[in-house]
Amino acid sequence: MTTTVPLRSPCPPGACICGRDPLLETPGADVRILRLTRAEEKILLARLEQLKDLADLKRLQQRMYEQLGIRVDVAPGFNEVRTMRGIAIQIDELPGLCRKTRAAIPAAIRKGLENHPQIAFELLNAHDLLRDT
């Protein structure tokens, strides 16, 4: 007996430019991102808001890439970092990734960094920004 994996429901027409339908129509396309249902997205965002340390953030980045194909890069911004807004969070373009999800993931990571500022300091230190302090 074959079971199908639940896929994310489509966005309303005209509301999103994620490219879900062309992705499903392309044979051999990577459809891992469509496995992120709305309920699982809420769980992921809650988990990102509850970061424990920098290693936890790195582990979550790796798992998002392995399971969903989402590549997230978190690094200090180009200019000086005075608030969590100064930390650059980039998500690579990925067909099938909803625009709301693309905006919600960085917001959840920033919230996690605001809840635990020591993670932001570890991130800055990992990029040698606090080396001389």
CA distance 31 to 38: 15
Indicate the angle between helix axes 117-126 and 99-115, nearest 10 degrees.
100
The predicted structure's pLDDT at residue 3: 59
The predicted structure's pLDDT at residue 130: 52
Q: Which residues pair with 73 in a beta bridge?
A: 90
Burial 23-57 (b: 16+ CB within 10 A, else e): beeeeeeebbbbebeeeebeebbeebbebeebebb
Q: Are 18 and 7 in contact (CB under 8 A)?
A: no
With 0-12 / 13-18 / 19 or more C-beta atoms within 10 angstroms meaning exposed / middle / buried, residue 122 is middle
Helices (H), the chain: 20-25, 38-49, 54-68, 99-115, 117-126
- pTM score, whole prediction: 0.85
The predicted structure's pLDDT at residue 1: 52
Q: Which residues pair with 89 in a beta bridge?
A: 74
Is the pLDDT confidence value at 22 over 90? Answer: no
pLDDT tier, 55 (very low <50, low <70, confident <90, very high otherwise) = very high
pLDDT above 70 covers a percentage of the chain that reads: 87
